[in-house]
Amino acid sequence: MEACVGEDGFNKVMNNRLDYQLKISCKNCLHKHKKGLELMAGPGRNIETILKWCNELEVLDSSEEMLKHCPDLMKKHHTAIQHFDWPQDNYDVIVGVWFLSYLDATESLDVLAKIHKSLKENGSLILFEPII
């Protein structure tokens, strides 16, 4: 069991778990170039971990202030997740950490269906949610 003390300890535990899930998920991708999307990216605390496994990463957040924390070279989508124009068959991996809590039940189901269509064949959705 990993020690989780304070926000830094929590972030370390979450990043270790995310790294493990990405390792499992990304080995299923059939090609070398992996494209990812992080939902509700916040201050960018997961970006470094995701970039270990994805050559290209886009971030989505409804807060312009939060997107300022993400690297400038990264494609940033400033929109509410339920209003995002989801491209079809575009991502190898989509990571969402506590993003469903911003949505009601109907919006959650709609967004999850759109995420599914946005994943490439053998793509993965990695979720960390307090309650599903």
Task: Give the structural domain span for 52.
Answer: 6-128
To the question of pTM greater than 0.75 for the whole model, the response is yes
As for how many domains the chain has, the answer is: 1
Residue 41 covered by a domain: yes
Residue 37 covered by a domain: yes
pLDDT tens per residue across span 81-112: 999 999 999 999 899 888 888 899 999 999 99
**Residue-level pLDDT at 2:** 45
> Between vectors from CA 44 to CA 41 and to CA 65, what angle results, nearest 5°?
75
pLDDT tens per residue across span 17-70: 777 677 666 665 545 558 999 998 888 888 888 888 788 999 999 999 999 988
DSSP code string of the chain: -----HHHHHHHHHHHHHHHHHHHHHTT-SSS--EEEEET-TTSTTHHHHHTT-SEEEEEES-HHHHTTS-TTSEEEES-GGG--PPTT-EEEEEEES-GGGS-HHHHHHHHHHHHHHEEEEEEEEEE-S--
Taking the CA atoms of 70, 40, 2 and 25 in sequence, report the sign of the dihedral they define: negative
CATH, residue 87: 3.40.50.150
